[in-house]
C-alpha cells in the first residue's frame, strides 16, 4: 500500500490519466475495441527507443562531468546562469526535455549546496530552457515525437519550420536570465565531487542515437527499437532497468484517453465550432489546452480535429511554459529539486514568459508559414 501511495505522489499525471482512463472505460465501453487503433504505435516505438538510448547517455555521466568542468570557468552568478541555461537548451534538442532535467537538476542541487549564493532561480530558468530548446527538433520532447510520427514530417523540414518560434523563445529566455540574475561573484562553501565517466556507454549510445534517427526517417523504427533493446540487453542490461518505462505507459494511456474524448459527439461539435481552419485559432487552442491538460495530451487531442501540424506544434511547445502542469518537464523539476518554494516561484517567471511568447508568435511567426 505504501508503494502505491508513493507512486501516486511521485507520478500525479500518470495517476490522474489512469483515473480518467477508468472513468472513460466505465462510461463508454463501446470504444474498447478501438483502443489499439487510438494508439499511434510508431510514436510508441520511437519514444521507447529514444528512452533507452537517452538513458544510456545519461547513465554515462558524460554531460554531468562536462558541466562540472565548465563551472570552474565562471565567476559570477549571471555567467553561471547563462552557461547552464544555454547548455540545458542545447541538450534538450536531442536528449529530450525530460532526460535533460534528470541530468541537470540533480547537478544544480549539488552546485547550490557547494555555494553560499542562493541560485534557486536557476532551477526555474533551466526548466523553461529545456521546454524552449526541445521545441526545435522532432526528438526534443514527447509531443514533437508524436507530431513527427503522426504526420511523417521530414526531419529537416521540422527543424526549419520550428526554428523561428524556437529562436524567438531563446531570445526571450536570454533576456529573462540577464535581467533576473545577479552579477555577484560566486562564493564556494565546498568543492563539487568529480564524476566518473563511462566512455564506452556514452559512445555506444551516441552512435545508436544517430542510427535510430536515421531509422525513424526511413520508417523502420519498430525494428530499430528491438535492435537497440537487444544490444543493451547483451551489453548494458542496467540501462533497461533504469529507463523510464512509466513515461511510455503514460503515453499509451494518453492515446486511449484522448482518442475516446476526441470521438465523443459533444466534444466534436464543440471543437468544430472553433473554426480550426485558422492557424491562429489552432495555435491558441493548443496552447490553452496545454495549460489545462499538459502539452502532450493536448497535441494528441488536437490531432483528432485538424491536419495542420505546425500551429499545433507551435501551440503545445509554447504552452509547455505557463502553469506548472503544462509540461511533464516542469513537474520533474518540482519533484527532483526538493524545494518547497519552487511551485509558486516558477509561475512568477513562467506565466509571463508563456504569455509574451504566445503573443509574439501570433503576431510575427504565424504569418511566415501561412
Grid cell locating 96: 529530450
Dist. CA 280–CA 363, nearest whole Å: 9
Domain ranges of the chain: 34-369
Do the Cβ atoms of 187 and 35 come closer than 8 Å? no
DSSP β-bridge partners for residue 115 = 188
The lowest-confidence range among 8-17, 158-167, 208-217, 266-275 is: 8-17
Average pLDDT score over residue span 204-212: 93
Grid cell locating 213: 534517427
Q: What is the mean pLDDT of the chain?
A: 89
Task: State percent of the chain over pLDDT 90.
Answer: 58
Q: Report how far apart, in Å, the C-alpha atoms of 158 and of each of 144, 218, 258 are.
A: 9, 15, 24
- pLDDT of residue 129 exceeding 60, the answer is yes
Where residue 270 falls among pLDDT bands split at 50, 70, 90?
confident
Return the pLDDT at 62. Answer: 84
Return the pLDDT at 10. Answer: 61
Question: Is residue 319 classed as helix, strand or coil in its secondary structure?
Answer: coil
- pLDDT of residue 280 exceeding 90, the answer is yes
- pLDDT of residue 369 exceeding 80, the answer is no
Q: Report how far apart, in Å, the C-alpha atoms of 131 and of each of 114, 149, 229, 244, 347 are.
A: 27, 20, 28, 19, 14
The lowest-confidence range among 102-111, 143-152, 274-283, 303-312 is: 102-111
> In the block, which residue shows the cell 518554494?
341
Q: Report how far apart, in Å, the C-alpha atoms of 154 and of each of 159, 213, 235, 255 are.
A: 9, 11, 32, 23
Where residue 246 falls among pLDDT bands split at 50, 70, 90?
confident
- pLDDT of residue 193 exceeding 80, the answer is no
Where residue 14 falls among pLDDT bands split at 50, 70, 90?
confident
Return the pLDDT at 182. Answer: 85
Q: Report how far apart, in Å, the C-alpha atoms of 272 and of each of 278, 304, 305 are.
A: 12, 11, 7
Return the pLDDT at 120. Answer: 84
Average pLDDT score over residue span 245-251: 86
Average pLDDT score over residue span 225-246: 93
Q: How many residues does the chain have?
A: 370
DSSP 347-362: HHHHHHHHHHHHHHII
DSSP 11-54: -HHHHHHHHHHHHHHHH-GGGGGGHHHHS-HHHHHHHHHHHHHH
Do the Cβ atoms of 350 and 134 come closer than 8 Å? no
Do the Cβ atoms of 331 and 12 come closer than 8 Å? yes
- pLDDT of residue 243 exceeding 70, the answer is yes
> In the block, which residue shows the cell 541537470?
104
- pLDDT of residue 297 exceeding 60, the answer is yes
Do the Cβ atoms of 186 and 76 come closer than 8 Å? yes
Where residue 302 falls among pLDDT bands split at 50, 70, 90?
very high
Dist. CA 217–CA 182, nearest whole Å: 44
Return the pLDDT at 6. Answer: 59
Return the pLDDT at 336. Answer: 75
> In the block, which residue shows the cell 474524448?
261
184, 169, 216, 226: which is closest to 46 by C-alpha? 216
Return the pLDDT at 295. Answer: 94
Average pLDDT score over residue span 62-85: 80
300-336: b (≥16 Cβ within 10 Å) or e: bbbbebbebbbbbbbbbbbbbbbbbbbbbbbbbbbeb
CB within 8 Å of 130: residues ≥ 6 apart: 88, 89, 91, 92, 97, 100, 101, 104, 329
Return the pLDDT at 172. Answer: 97
End-to-end CA distance of the chain: 54
Dist. CA 182–CA 79, nearest whole Å: 9
Return the pLDDT at 279. Answer: 92
Return the higher-pLDDT residue of 254 and 5: 254
User: With left for phi above 0 and alpha for psi between -120 and 50, is residue 181 left, alpha or beta?
Assistant: beta
Dist. CA 136–CA 147, nearest whole Å: 13
- pLDDT of residue 244 exceeding 70, the answer is yes
pLDDT digits (tens, 9 = 90+) for 39-73: 989 889 998 998 899 889 888 988 777 766 766 67
Dist. CA 51–CA 44, nearest whole Å: 10
Amino acid at each position: 500500500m505504501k508503494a502505491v501511495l508513493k507512486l501516486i505522489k511521485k507520478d500525479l499525471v500518470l495517476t490522474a490519466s489512469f483515473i480518467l482512463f477508468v472513468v472513460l472505460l466505465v462510461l463508454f465501453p463501446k470504444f474498447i475495441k478501438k483502443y489499439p487503433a487510438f494508439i499511434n504505435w510508431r510514436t510508441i516505438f520511437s519514444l521507447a527507443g529514444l528512452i533507452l538510448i537517452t538513458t544510456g547517455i545519461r547513465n554515462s555521466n558524460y554531460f554531468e562531468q562536462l558541466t562540472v568542468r565548465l563551472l570552474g570557468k565562471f565567476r559570477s552568478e549571471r555567467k553561471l546562469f547563462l552557461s547552464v541555461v544555454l547548455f540545458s537548451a542545447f541538450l534538450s534538442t536531442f536528449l529530450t526535455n525530460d532526460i535533460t532535467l534528470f541530468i541537470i537538476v540533480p547537478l544544480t542541487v549539488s552546485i547550490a549546496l557547494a555555494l553560499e549564493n542562493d541560485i534557486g532561480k536557476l532551477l526555474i530558468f533551466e526548466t523553461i530552457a529545456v521546454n524552449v530548446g526541445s521545441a526545435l527538433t522532432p526528438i526534443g520532447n514527447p509531443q514533437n515525437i508524436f507530431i513527427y510520427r503522426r504526420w511523417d514530417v521530414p526531419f529537416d523540414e521540422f527543424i526549419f519550420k520550428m526554428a523561428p518560434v524556437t529562436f524567438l523563445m531563446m531570445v526571450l529566455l536570454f533576456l529573462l536570465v540577464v535581467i533576473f540574475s545577479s552579477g555577484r561573484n560566486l562564493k564556494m562553501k565546498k568543492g563539487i565531487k568529480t564524476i566518473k565517466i563511462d566512455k564506452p556507454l556514452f559512445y555506444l549510445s551516441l552512435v545508436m542515437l544517430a542510427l535510430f534517427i536515421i531509422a525513424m526517417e526511413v520508417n523502420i523504427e519498430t525494428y530499430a527499437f528491438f535492435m537497440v533493446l537487444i544490444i543493451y540487453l547483451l551489453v548494458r542490461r542496467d540501462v533497461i532497468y533504469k529507463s523510464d518505462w512509466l513515461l511510455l505507459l503514460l503515453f499509451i494511456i494518453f492515446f486511449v484517453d484522448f482518442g475516446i474524448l476526441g470521438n465523443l459527439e459533444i466534444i466534436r461539435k464543440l471543437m468544430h465550432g472553433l473554426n480550426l481552419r485558422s492557424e491562429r485559432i489552432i495555435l491558441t487552442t493548443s496552447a490553452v489546452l496545454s495549460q489545462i491538460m499538459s502539452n502532450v495530451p493536448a497535441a494528441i487531442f488536437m490531432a483528432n480535429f485538424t491536419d495542420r501540424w505546425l500551429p499545433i506544434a507551435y501551440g503545445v511547445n509554447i504552452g509547455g511554459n505557463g502553469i506548472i502542469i503544462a509540461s511533464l518537464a516542469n513537474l520533474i523539476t518540482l519533484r527532483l529539486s526538493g524545494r518547497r518554494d519552487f511551485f509558486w516561484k516558477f509561475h512568477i517567471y513562467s506565466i509571463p514568459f508563456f504569455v509574451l511568447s504566445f503573443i509574439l508568435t501570433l503576431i510575427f511567426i504565424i504569418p511566415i508559414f501561412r
